[in-house]
Chain A
Amino acid sequence: DAGVTQSPTHLIKTRGQQVTLRCSPKSGHDTVSWYQQALGQGPQFIFQYYEEEERQRGNFPDRFSGHQFPNYSSELNVNALLLGDSALYLCASSATTEAFFGQGTRLTVV
């Protein structure tokens, strides 16, 4: 079992650009959540996808959007990047109760 896999591992983007991050959930998991973790902080919930629909959303602007595919994999898109979007972006998958995280994508906006 490969666990939760995210790509890419690192990414550098310029302010104003758009970025897409990808996540493959753990085998057997149908729910994917995305979190943003700033340096030295706890992860902050962005949104959750289940059955290809956004089920819950945290306090993030519409510049943050996502998608879930029929195979349960997911993408996180961020438009009009700001310097403050620099963070570790984490994907978590779950089937019922326990949420398992991937290694994250380190996004740096310059």
Chain B
Amino acid sequence: QQQVKQSPQSLIVQKGGISIINCAYENTAFDYFPWYQQFPGKGPALLIAIRPDVSEKKEGRFTISFNKSAKQFSLHIMDSQPGDSATYFCAASKGGGNKLTFGTGTQLKVEL
């Protein structure tokens, strides 16, 4: 049973554009929702995370939007750059620091 569904599987965005990746979860006990960025051959790096008591969190060019009633959350990358080209994973857990359930990943390519 896939508890976190992520889309799209791949995404091509022009430099300066907005990249949007969406995730949906099933387990209403989840209360911590991080996003990770992974480059080939590297481990996932924590980008930004949100708790369900807020609807939006922004850190630099990265914004998480959270819709508790729809059980959905999304990552927006503003002013996308070629250096942002990587695989992005959403995740969820019950109690931060505990078992993370990951989405299947989105391969982002930012073209010049």
Most B-side CB within 10 Å, residue of A4, A31, A101, A102: A101
Does chain A have a CB within 8 A of B78? no
Once the chains are docked, how many angstroms separate the CA of A42 from the CA of B30?
Answer: 18
Does chain B have a CB within 8 A of A107? no
Q: Which residue of A lies closest to B32 (CB)?
A: A97
Q: Could you list which residues of chain A lie within 8 angstroms of chain B, going by C-beta atoms? A: 4, 31, 33, 35, 40-45, 48, 56, 58, 90, 92, 94-104
Give 15 new A-B contacts, CB below 8 A, not counting A48-B98, A99-B46, A104-B42: A31-B97, A33-B100, A42-B6, A42-B103, A42-B104, A43-B89, A45-B100, A45-B101, A56-B98, A58-B99, A90-B43, A95-B97, A96-B97, A97-B97, A101-B44
**Could you give 29 example pairs across A and B, Cβ below 8 Å?**
A31-B97, A33-B99, A33-B100, A41-B104, A41-B105, A42-B6, A42-B89, A42-B103, A42-B104, A43-B44, A44-B102, A45-B101, A48-B98, A48-B99, A56-B99, A58-B99, A90-B43, A96-B96, A97-B32, A98-B34, A98-B97, A99-B46, A99-B96, A99-B97, A101-B36, A101-B43, A102-B43, A103-B43, A104-B42
